[in-house]
Structure 1
Amino acid sequence: MSQPATDDLRASPRLTWARSALGDTNLQLQRASTDAGFRSYWRTVGVAPTRIVMDSPPDKEDVRPWLQVRDLLATAGVRVPQVLARDVDAGFLLLEDLGGPTVAQCIDDDNADAHVEAAIGQLIRLQSLPAPEGMPVFGEALLQRDAGLFEDWFIRRHLGIELDCADAERLQLVQRRLIGNALGQASVPVHRDFMPRNLMPVPDGPAVLDFQDMVLGPIAYDPVSLLRDAFLSWPEARVAGWLRRYHARAVEAALPVPALATFLRDADWCGVQRHLKILGIFARLHHRDGKPRYLADAPRFLAYLDAVVPKYGELDPLHELLERTLKPAFARVAA
């Protein structure tokens, strides 16, 4: 069933629940955001202050994992949305309204340092959280799955290339090295999409969103997700300065970061792993899910790879594959 059809079926119970939760039989709901999987978000109309109703159809996307992670983060002082009412069995939550624009929509050259500094503060709190028993691990199985996205969806499906044995071996060699680097890092709670799109610029924040997939994984992953973002790019010199600032604050917080030079290398390598994965995800969104707009950001990721991959001899096989095969094919497909 498509999401619009699901929304239609749940429109009446959603509105009835919202009116009951707020004690107002006249309020209405309007969609507040889209593209959230099976979850949908609705802003109240006709009541002040406005609130957000999260609708998570129980047969599609259980709301309990979201709530569990939210409550865990809140106990650590991470700014997350307040839950004002809940009906877990029905899949409805009433949340505070954090406003419209995300950090991604209001960050610019002049205010970026302040936004990044505030985001690092929230990230330090998240990473300092004692990992609860049973937290999923960002381990080899998940990393291998991420690696497969690039080959299956970006190379094979989007570029229409079937790698020969030599090129397949080159890619697999680099993927093994990237995975080995990630597995060799100290493990902390990892958001996995800690980026400006998932941060809301509230005074005591930013508030962190989309945290339900948090895992235990490599410490450099979230910092590079924030600073080499899927939808925003900054000059490499500025990114390097922010990474150094994160490292200094992580040391102050007694997080298990390595020496600065090692951390910067780990961040570079985590970035390469993540950028390959996201190219695969964007291609999958286009070809499987009918969402072509994401591929417009593919050149950003190729530029990230151009800036980082040539710095490391261990990544030369990927550099060769990109220059000789993948980038020319991408140019042909994009033409």
Structure 2
Amino acid sequence: MTPPAGAAAFLDSAGWGGAAIMPLAGDASFRRYFRVARGAERAVLMDAPPPEEDPRPFLAVGGWLAERGFGAPAVLASDLGRGLVLLEDFGDARLREVADAEPGREAALYEAAVDVLAELRTHPAGPFAPYDRAVLRREADLLVDWYCPAVGLPVDRDGYRAAWDAVFEHALAGETVTVLRDYHAENLMLVKDGLGLLDFQDALAGHPAYDLVSLLKDARRDVAPALETAMLARYVAATGAGEDFMRAYHVLGAQRNAKIVGIFTRLWKRDGKARYAALCPRVWAYLERDLAEPVLEPVRRWFDANVPAARRGDPMMAAS
């Protein structure tokens, strides 16, 4: 986590000359984050190095959110050629750590997160690419592209696609909203005026159930079934969502978690980030809960025929 080349000059041009630069976080992509400190002032430096990363989508989505009163961080300065962006610092109070440390607040914190999604649904989708069938297919394919080969399973790829195609219509019907795509406890910050949002640069226009799936079937944190049920009820009460919404919720739950199993396996196999493989058992548990729903019957049949229960879990273990 060495500061990127040109960081000092960028900060100087932004009026932050002489500020200390401290490692803050990395993520599953090439992006890195640093805290910038000058006296009592704080900011966050995002390093999104080209050509691997492009900060423009982050700025576009953040601007769209801020214009509508949602908690995107303010942009203090940017150098798009170098992929450097100076952002408002939301502090250290992430929903994940606060909920873990103070279980008595967990329900209220998740209620606040659900309320943001209910409010987001009142706005027409932004000018973002559609979360269409092609994207859903490509993402679901990550499981057969990466997990199945990693654990030595030859599978029926054509049957896999056909099974998903039989259920995707549920996730494509009805209204579309801005889908942030990684809306979960590690990307939600507790700030003075509510929740600060992070990691929304991949936003698309899609089904409103998707971000609820991200929140309540969290790959990085256990969400108890009782909490999931309560939060779904809160969302339904706020939005009037009906049975069609719940069918989409289950389809997108299965699709997202099939995708995540594939992504986490790729992070292990290709990028050497073994910690992600260890998260896969939790993701499989979410996936299997949705596969038990009647709407997912074609997909469940494919999994039963191609991926034995004993081979569903940590790919490092299932491969041995």
Query: Is this a same-fold pair by TM over 0.5?
Result: yes
Task: Give the Cα separation in 1 of the matches to 2:148 and 2:271.
Answer: 17
TM-score (ref. length: structure 2): 0.89
Task: Identify which of 137, 140, 143 aligns with 1:144.
Answer: 137
Corresponding residue for 2:255? 273
Structure 1 residues 241 and 177: CA distance shift in structure 2, 3 A: farther
Task: Please report how far the alpha carbon of residue 32 of structure 1 lies from its aligned counterpart in structure 2 after TM superposition.
Answer: 1.1
Corresponding residue for 1:311? 293
Asked if 1:210 corresponds to 2:199, the answer is yes
Is contact 2:284-2:312 (8 Å) kept?
A: no
Corresponding residue for 1:321? 303
Corresponding residue for 1:230? 219
Question: What code does the residue aligned with 1:153 have?
Answer: W
Asked if 1:154 corresponds to 2:147, the answer is yes
Number of aligned residue pairs: 315
Task: Identify which of 154, 175, 178 aligns with 1:189.
Answer: 178
Asked if 1:16 corresponds to 2:9, the answer is yes
Is contact 2:34-2:46 (8 Å) kept?
A: yes
Is contact 2:164-2:299 (8 Å) kept?
A: no
Question: Structure 2: where are the runs of 5+ without partners?
Answer: none
Task: Give the Cα separation in 1 of the matches to 2:40 and 2:32.
Answer: 21
CA RMSD of aligned residues (A): 2.3
Task: Please report how far the alpha carbon of residue 162 of structure 1 lies from its aligned counterpart in structure 2 after TM superposition.
Answer: 0.9
Task: Identify which of 140, 146, 160 aligns with 1:171.
Answer: 160
Task: Give the Cα separation in 1 of the matches to 2:126 and 2:118.
Answer: 17
Task: Please report how far the alpha carbon of residue 320 of structure 1 lies from its aligned counterpart in structure 2 after TM superposition.
Answer: 6.3
Question: What code does the residue aligned with 1:177 have?
Answer: A
**Residue deviations 1:97-149 (CA, integer Å, cap 9, x gap):** 1112421222143212111111122223333333344x201001111111210
Report sequence identity in percent. Answer: 35
Question: What code does the residue aligned with 1:16 have?
Answer: A
Task: Please report how far the alpha carbon of residue 172 of structure 1 lies from its aligned counterpart in structure 2 after TM superposition.
Answer: 3.0
Bigger CA drift: 99-108 or 112-121?
A: 99-108
| 1:1-335 → structure 2 map (5 Å cutoff) | 10-11=4-5, 13-25=6-18, 27-35=19-27, 37-108=29-100, 109-133=103-127, 135-156=128-149, 158-163=150-155, 167-168=156-157, 170-251=159-240, 257=241, 259=242, 261-312=243-294, 314-315=296-297, 318-319=300-301, 321-322=303-304, 325-330=307-312, 333=318
**Residue deviations 1:49-100 (CA, integer Å, cap 9, x gap):** 2111122334432222211111110011111111122333443222121112
Task: Give the Cα separation in 2 of the matches to 1:162 and 1:168.
Answer: 9
**Residue deviations 1:236-260 (CA, integer Å, cap 9, x gap):** 2321121110122123xxxxx4x2x
Task: Give the Cα separation in 2 of the matches to 1:324 and 1:36.
Answer: 28
Question: What code does the residue aligned with 2:176 have?
Answer: S
Task: Give the Cα separation in 2 of the matches to 1:39 and 1:324.
Answer: 36
Question: Structure 1: where are the runs of 5+ without partners?
Answer: 252-256
Task: Please report how far the alpha carbon of residue 291 of structure 1 lies from its aligned counterpart in structure 2 after TM superposition.
Answer: 0.7
**Residue deviations 1:268-307 (CA, integer Å, cap 9, x gap):** 2210111111111111111111111111111112212332
Structure 1 residues 97 and 308: CA distance shift in structure 2, 3 A: same
Corresponding residue for 1:254? none
Question: What code does the residue aligned with 1:327 have?
Answer: A
Question: What code does the residue aligned with 2:283 have?
Answer: F
Structure 1 residues 247 and 159: CA distance shift in structure 2, 3 A: same
Q: Give the SS at the match of 1:29.
A: strand
Structure 1 residues 207 and 14: CA distance shift in structure 2, 3 A: same
